[in-house]
Amino acid sequence: MVESDKHAPETSPADSAAAPVVPPDLAETVSRALDEDLQNGDLTASLIPEATRSRARIVTREDAILAGRPYAEAVFRRLDSAARLDWFATDGDPIRAGETVCEIEGAARALLTAERTALNFLQTLSATATAAARYVAAVAGTGCKILDTRKTLPGLRLAQKYAVRCGGARNHRTGLYDGILIKENHITAAGSIAAAVSAARRISSAVPVEVEVESLEELGQALEAGADIIMLDDFSLADMAEAVARNRAHPRRARLEASGGVNLGTVGAIAETGVDYISVGGITKHIRAIDLSMRFE
């Protein structure tokens, strides 16, 4: 809680370090993914006799952090409710190149039909978790927390935010409905930072109010207005350090979030300035699918 601001909420999305919980839209997300692949059925899988049963295993060809297991399981079981899956890692675990991640037994047609959709989930979500874990490791020991953003793949918002947590990072607001982030255009429309924050307080006292600032002068205005979180947009390292010092000395101290110009080469130095959070859009949008394959036995 912000010590001297009676309006500040006890927690914000960024404050939660709880274990990842499977998103409530998992079934809907899996259904959409299968629908776009199947339409009226799997023509190629129908070449296999219906009674044929098979075994297969999912293997990783590179080191990664696993994420997406509940999605893959849902895909296989949607097509064969009796399929047996034996996992050798859980979401959030490191997996090493050459390792078998999962063994599956079930109807051959179902396994073949499920293969690509299940792997798509595992490869994409493991990529997100792996990227998040790299940033978390880069700021280890500083006390700074890595946050995601709303820059997610359309339709996979909750899935990717789940994967971010599997990688050890934390979630920023989920969408436009569970947090207030006042940016340049909001400030212009409202007339000032103070007016925008005042309006935000009237709208809701249950969510944190964050203000994006582009200068030390605007930082001062946001502090005076009583913002809970202040985002330092594209600040230099020197200005970030000065912002941290001014914030600590201010009676209405806020939490500080750094944004812009963040990559694995810069994130450590940014964390060392003393900011509380660093938001990284790249952990959900600049990802490369992890190389996983499914091999039939």
Catalytic residues, by residue number, are 116, 151, 183, 212, 233
List the structure tokens of 186: 């909001």
Of 203, 208, 240, the residue nearest 226 (C-alpha): 208
Q: Is 97 left (phi over 0), alpha (psi -120 to 50) or beta?
A: beta
Matching residue, tokens 């809680």: 1
Of 42, 1, 16, the residue nearest 171 (C-alpha): 16
Please provide residue 23's backbone torsions phi and psi, each rounded to the nearest 5 degrees. -60, 145
Q: How many residues does the chain have?
A: 297
Please provide residue 95's backbone torsions phi and psi, each rounded to the nearest 5 degrees. -120, 145
- 157-166 helix and 108-138 helix, angle to the nearest 10 degrees: 60
Distance CA 237, CA 228 (A): 22
Strands 84-87 and 100-107: antiparallel
